[in-house]
A and B are shown apart, each in its own frame.
Chain A
Amino acid sequence: MSHALRMHDVRYRYPDAARPALDGVSLDVEQGELVLVLGESGSGKSTLLRAALGLVPSFHGGELAGRVVSEGLDTREHSPAQVARHVGLVFQDPESQLVMRRADHEVAFGLENLGCDPREILPRAEQALTAVAAGHLAERETGRLSGGEQQRVAIASVLAMGQSTLLLDEPTSQLDPIAAEELLALVTRINRDRGITVVLAEHRTSRIFAEADRVVVMEAGRIVFDGSPAEAAAHLAGSAPWLLPPVTQAFVAAHRPELPLTVRDARRLAAPASASRRELPAAATVVGLTSVTKRYGEIPALRGATTALRAGTVTALVGPNGAGKSTLARIATGLEPPDGGRVEGDGVRGYVSQNPAHHAVRERVDDEVAYALENLGVAAPERARRVAAELSRFGLEELASRHPRDLSSGERQRLAIASVTVMRPQLLVLDEPTRGMDGLRKLALAELVGRLAGDGCGVVVVTHDIDFAAEAAEAVTTMARGRVLADGCSVDLLAHGGFFACQVGLALGCATIAEAGALLRTETERAGV
């Protein structure tokens, strides 16, 4: 069988980087394979995909050693534009990769670049849009599409070019669970039905792990494992279980020898916990919202939302795109006024934006943390004391003199949170904090928000990531179409909650991996007895 991609001893260093992004990577991908690339943030996944297209070093500069041959084209001898005739790359952020204003023109853009016969351009563009179930979007403005729709158009743009290899760099990181599942199903279908080679770097592995032909694990620019999904699960169980699907992690936590990769497999191996209603412990209300309404032009964002945000509790605010979660969060923190209804609560309220770069307005990390205190008029000695305490609390003291933009994504996230918690808010809202975050960082974030809640702060996490919500939150508020559907305990709503259920909830009726692990251990002990 011929190879779609061959990499031999590839070493690459970005300009001015201290360490190589790729360090002796050798990888062969056969035609028609679906390869899943796993690894923590900064492990070299995105660079590997860019190297496959020749964007490193051609676009980014830096030094490349070794050999990369994509669809028979050596990237040292062929430009990315030439390689792009056979290999397509879909990036993480759909908003930043769309060039044209209309969806069909966007798909046509790549065909124009290929020098395609003008008479074929529009029919091929329409076929590609139809193939990804986006035919109805053809005449829509790309800037007005949802993240999921934009990502579909981006995939259609690549498919239309008739490339035989598709590289996807965390394509679901900005999508809600339903859109993410649809997209991964689409990728699988493209691979199975059309024989297109797919190399996919992804953190949300619950749906795609078992579907992959091979799993490649990267660490510090190196490939540390390359094998089948079952072999990868066995390997990762000992070294990096957070890269596995949540249901597999539960079996790892229970020290069970079987490692199911899907909900169905897990259900065959263990009976789910029975549903029992749990009550949340009593807690004071930090902010109460009653029948709150809000419109943006003609679009209603909130239609009478009522909820109470609790002190000392991590509350997850979940729901599909356009449910009104971010609007509710901004109104609760006083950043936006409601059109109608009542918002009750006083004290300092903080909001951490979904893009940590929005919290980087100063030249130094310590100045960034001091920014809010300066705005509040806190005296210099007190300010210095609180900044030092906050840097220490978030493990940022070593980075105090660095520029915020030079930090890694995890450090930027911690800095963004520290820059708000330094005000000692009674309510802290984190808007989509897990975008593009790997499993290990999510665990760290879950622990961090737990500590903040432990200090008495009411923490609200607005998220699409149901598995993270289940791990991090005690209380859950579900929303849809501008209304609050339910307030309750995360076990009730995410383990047995139907549409919003997390993976360990679907498989084992538990909200967290630890709970599921405990359930499985008990079951094993009983079986042993």
Chain B
Amino acid sequence: MSPLPVGLLCAALLAGSVALSNPFAIAACAAAAGALLWASPPPRAMYVWFAATSALLVFLVNPFVSVQGLTPIWSGPQIPLLDTEITQEELVFGIAAGLRLIGSAMAVAAFVRLADGDRVLAALARVAPRSAMIAALASRLLPTLEQDATGLAMASRSRAAQLHRRRPAAALAAPLVGLSLERSLMLAEAMEARGYGGAVRTRTPQPGLNAPERVLTAIGIVTCAVVATAIPLDHYRYYDLLGDPFTTVGLATAALVGLAGAAGAVAGRWARRPR
């Protein structure tokens, strides 16, 4: 899929996840990004797993490292460097921070899975040709690196290595780096053999946007406008006391972003249908 429509919607959701403050609006951004990721081709599970575990970690850690809030709900024993007085504000802030992480991670993941990587690189090459080729190398190396990691792990397990333990597993990092360097040299050589680095390059003309992509572009523009309008108006407060989340701006933003996420997911699925 063309990177423009997906990029618009994902950028809006990423900006919303990071910059909005109303918890309902942040939750809506996370839900919309999740819906968009659902509409993208597999593999998706590892992105969801990464986002969910990171968010849970942030939620669990925040009350113990934050010393704010005026509504205590539990007090623990004194432990150096940790704040064991947990407040309602810290918990809500932790939930919001976790949702921010989920929203931003899933928005990036949805872009990675939905946008055509070659077209992203072609667009990048217009402004930074060298960086684009490094990105191309990296994107091609990732799958081979994954295969090599699996191969190394398999070969070590067949030699009785206990890879669930940290040290034996970590010992495979150096050979993996060695293998990836070999692979990158092979790929660079193949690129040179295909004339890369010679005369002035031309670019394959990109096809125009199709119907689902046009719909997605419209959704992306509307979402960008909604988020851009809401950010300066959204003044939700977490500390010292929680503000009222049921504000018109907060609820309206949440509703519009949620709707955009659902519509975006439908358009994303439509775009993936074989034609």
Contact = CB atoms under 8 A, between A and B. Distances in A.
A99 B187 contact: yes
Contact of B202 (A80, A99, A117, A372): A117
Contacts of A88: 193-194
Contacts of B199: 81, 113-115
Contact of A121 (B42, B178, B196, B204): B204
Interface stretch (B51-59, B140-148, B239-247): B140-148
A55 B193 contact: yes
Interface string B68-91: 000000000000000000000000
A333 B155 CA distance: 11
Interface residues of B, number: 53
Contact of B194 (A82, A116, A161): A161
Interface stretch (B158-166, B215-223, B259-267): B158-166
B190 A99 contact: yes
Contacts of A122: 204-205
B263 to A, nearest CB: 26
Given A98-B140, A355-B151, A405-B178, A333 B195 contact: no
Interface string B185-205: 011111111111111111111
Nearest to A376: B160
Interface residues of A, number: 66
Contact of B193 (A84, A111, A330, A360): A84
A126 to B, nearest CB: 12
Contacts of B157: 335
Nearest to B147: A95
B151 A419 contact: no
User: Is chain B's interface secondary structure helix, strand, loop, or mixed overall?
Assistant: helix
A111 B241 CA distance: 63
Nearest to B186: A96
A216 interface: no
A111 B199 CA distance: 11
A105 B154 CA distance: 33
A102 B154 contact: no
A97 B160 contact: no
A251 interface: no
Given A353-B155, A419-B159, A93 B186 contact: yes
B214 to A, nearest CB: 20
A357 B191 contact: no
Contacts of A350: 158-159
Given A112-B204, A121-B205, A353-B155, A375 B162 contact: yes
* List of 9 A-B pairs having minimum Cβ-Cβ separation, nearest first: A81-B198, A97-B190, A372-B159, A113-B195, A351-B158, A375-B160, A84-B195, A358-B155, A96-B186
Given A81-B196, A115-B198, 10 more contacts: A91-B186, A101-B140, A102-B116, A113-B197, A113-B198, A113-B201, A335-B154, A352-B155, A357-B182, A375-B168
